[in-house]
């Protein structure tokens, strides 16, 4: 029975929430396995629009158990803010489970994220400023605070003291900031302990048992392949494993349990923050994609950088994730272009690259080699079957499928749950 990983195949914001949502009532568990509240997905259910940052999108499906896995970093204030927001709109959130091994984002890491960015000046990453990077750094540096630490004041105090022994030096001596007060930090974290306690579980065990019983489990990645700390455009990446392997380490299941890996990919490309982006359009066409596609960050409100579809990125995502399916989103945004260029390879210093250059500085110099496909003028938003699509839109999808090397199992034609053309069942 399927354990399905759903991840972004580009630089994020591909519409993963919608893909998970599409699996709908057949999904028993939705697991977030990496990242934190740097993510942002908008899910539209009927007339209601929900913007989620930390919670897995499965929280909106009544029969589904949402899980925050050990690979996630949790900002407890945001957790309760989102839960209360949903409860206020009548959503039942009582099934949520959180791994006791997930790390928490202490307030000093939010401060450090922001001041580090300022300090980096033109070398800045363009982070979301949510404390993600410093919290993952603490985890690797073995000075992190985990959910399980919240329940014993003495242990918590000890760990915060250990972390601040380094952090306060950095805050005061390098960044000229006020130091963080141990007791204040401990008191803030402790203030969440009683409320979080009923949600805490050995989520790895829960998930393995669920898979043994043949339940459907969706592992939902935050961020995306090109922002993955190992496989993305380092250093302009997030600090976690957003590719398929991260689903195993970030949730406590073995890789052999994964049946399907679904890459969500836009019919064009967007990116937030700094870093190379070969097909970026800095002209009126880019602006048109931004406007029509509503390309503004859910988390930060920043305008997203926009450009044409990049089949080299799609093939790379297929390879590093072992994709079995692609879910193509936002095809409707491309309506109204005479020709739609698609990047099939890069030119780096006069040399053609059909695959991602291994060297980041070569990638930064890559210019796209385009193939132009015929556009269409019809409104796609009411299309519900493959045959409803105009012939050139169908040809566009088929061309992307061919160039990307992975079958396109569904096509999104609008923001609503129903505005999707399903070609292959993701759980079948
Ligand atoms: P951080 O994850 O806040 O450390 O930011 C690192 C990089 O990842 C920045 O370029 C962010 O804009 C980008 N990023 C983080 N989360 C998302 C997301 O959910 N969608 C798109 N970009 C993201």
Which residue, of 178, 194, 210, is where some domain finishes? 194
The 3-state DSSP class for residue 290 equals helix
Regarding whether 385 and 292 lie in a shared domain, the answer is yes
| Residue 112: inside a domain | yes
Q: Residues 205, 313: one domain?
A: no
Please identify every residue annotated as catalytic: 13, 41
Assign residue 384 the CATH number of its domain. Answer: 3.90.170.10
Where a domain ends, among 194, 220, 244? 194
Tokens coding 375: 């556009």
Q: Tell me the CATH number at 232.
A: 3.40.440.10
Average pLDDT, the chain: 95
Tokens 């008191």 belong to residue? 187
If one counts the domains in the chain, the total is 3
Q: 31 forms bridges with which residues in the sheet? A: 67, 219
Instruction: Residue 316: give the domain boundaries.
Output: 265-422
In a domain, 427, yes or no: no
pLDDT score at 46: 73
Which token pair is 259?
């049946």
Distance 38 CA to ligand 1 centre (A): 6
Provide mean pLDDT across the span 110-117: 95
Residues 78 and 142 reside in one and the same domain:
no
Residues 146 and 234 reside in one and the same domain: no
Say which residues have a Cβ less than 8 Å from residue 162's Cβ, sequence separation at least 6: 143
Question: Are residues 179 and 203 both part of a single domain?
Answer: no
Whose CA is closest to atom 19 on ligand 1? 39
Do residues 325 and 406 make contact, with C-beta atoms less than 8 angstroms apart?
yes
Does residue 32 fall inside a structural domain? yes
Are both 257 and 287 inside the same structural domain? Answer: no
Backbone angles phi, psi at 7, to 5 degrees: -140, 165
Closest residue to atom 20 of ligand 1, CA basis: 12
Q: How far is CA 112 from the centre of its chain?
A: 22
Q: What is the pLDDT of residues 88-104, one digit of tens each?
A: 999 999 999 999 999 99
User: Residue 176's domain is classified under what CATH number?
Assistant: 1.10.300.10
Say yes or no: 307 and 417 in one domain.
yes
> What phi-psi label fits residue 66: left (phi over 0), alpha (psi between -120 and 50 degrees) or beta?
beta
Atom of ligand 1 nearest to the CA of 129: 3
pLDDT digits (tens, 9 = 90+) for 258-311: 999 999 999 999 999 899 999 999 999 999 999 999 999 877 788 999 999 999
- Residue 428 within a domain: no
By the 8 A CB rule, do 218 and 31 touch? yes
Do 207 and 310 fall into the same domain? no
| Residue 45: pLDDT over 90 | no
Q: What is the mean pLDDT of residues 234-244?
A: 97
List the structure tokens of 233. Answer: 């455009």
**Domain identity same for 239 and 286:** no
**Cα–Cα distance measured from residue 266 to residue 271, given in angstroms and rounded to the nearest whole number:** 11
Q: How many degrees, rounded to 5, is the angle at CA 212 between CA 409 and CA 97?
A: 80
Whether 361 maps to a domain, the answer reads yes
Q: What distance in angstroms lies between residue 313's CA and the mean position of ligand 1's atoms?
A: 17
| Pocket-forming residues, ligand 1, beta carbon under 6 Å | 12-13, 38-40, 125-128, 130, 132-133, 223, 227, 236, 238-239, 272-273
**Alpha carbon of 188 to those of 138, 156, 162, 179: distances in Å?**
19, 11, 17, 16
Burial of 297 (C-beta count, 10 Å sphere; 0-12/13-18/19+): middle
Examine the fold and report which residue of 145, 168, 194 is the final residue of a domain before the chain moves on. Answer: 194
The ligand 1 atom nearest the CA atom of 222: 19
Domain match, 171 and 297 both: no
Q: Do 288 and 323 belong together in one domain?
A: yes
Same domain, 365 and 377: yes
């Amino acid at each position: 029975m399927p354990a399905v990983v759903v991840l972004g195949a580009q630089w994020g914001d591909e519409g993963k929430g919608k893909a998970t949502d599409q699996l709908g009532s057949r999904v028993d568990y939705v697991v977030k396995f990496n990242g934190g509240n740097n993510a942002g997905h908008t899910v539209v259910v009927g007339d209601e629009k929900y913007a989620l940052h930390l919670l897995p999108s499965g929280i909106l499906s009544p029969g589904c158990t949402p899980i925050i896995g050990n690979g996630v970093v949790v900002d407890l204030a945001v957790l309760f803010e989102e839960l209360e927001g949903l409860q206020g709109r009548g959503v039942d959130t009582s099934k949520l489970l959180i791994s006791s091994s997930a790390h928490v984002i202490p307030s000093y890491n939010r401060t450090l994220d922001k001041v580090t960015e300022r300090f980096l000046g033109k070398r800045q990453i363009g982070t979301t400023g949510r404390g993600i990077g410093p919290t993952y750094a603490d985890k690797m540096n073995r000075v992190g605070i985990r959910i399980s630490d919240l329940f014993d004041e003495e242990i918590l105090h000890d760990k915060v003291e250990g972390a601040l022994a380094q952090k306060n030096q950095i805050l005061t001596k390098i960044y000229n900031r006020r130091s963080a007060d141990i007791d204040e930090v401990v008191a803030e974290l402790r203030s969440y302990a009683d409320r979080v306690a009923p949600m805490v579980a050995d989520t790895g065990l829960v998930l393995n048992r669920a898979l043994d019983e043949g339940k459907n489990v969706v592992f939902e990645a935050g961020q995306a392949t090109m922002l993955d700390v190992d496989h993305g455009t380092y250093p302009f990446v997030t600090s976690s494993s957003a590719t398929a392997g991260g689903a195993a380490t970030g949730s406590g299941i073995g890789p052999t349990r994964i049946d399907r890996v679904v890459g969500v990919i836009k019919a064009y490309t967007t990116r937030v923050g700094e870093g190379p982006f070969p097909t970026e359009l800095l002209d009126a066409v880019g602006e048109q994609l931004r406007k029509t596609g509503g390309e503004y960050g859910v988390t930060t409100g920043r305008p997203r950088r926009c450009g044409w579809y990049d089949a080299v990125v799609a093939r790379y995502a297929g390879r590093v994730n072992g994709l079995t399916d692609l879910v193509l989103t936002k095809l409707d945004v491309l309506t109204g272009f005479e020709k739609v260029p698609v990047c099939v390879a890069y030119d780096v210093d006069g040399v053609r690259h059909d695959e991602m250059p291994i060297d980041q500085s070569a990638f930064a110099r890559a210019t796209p080699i385009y193939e132009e496909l015929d556009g269409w003028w019809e409104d796609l938003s009411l299309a519900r079957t493959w045959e409803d699509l105009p012939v050139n839109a169908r040809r566009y999808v088929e061309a992307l499928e061919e160039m990307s090397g992975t079958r396109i199992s569904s096509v999104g034609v609008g923001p609503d749950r129903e505005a999707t053309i399903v070609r292959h069942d993701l759980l079948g």
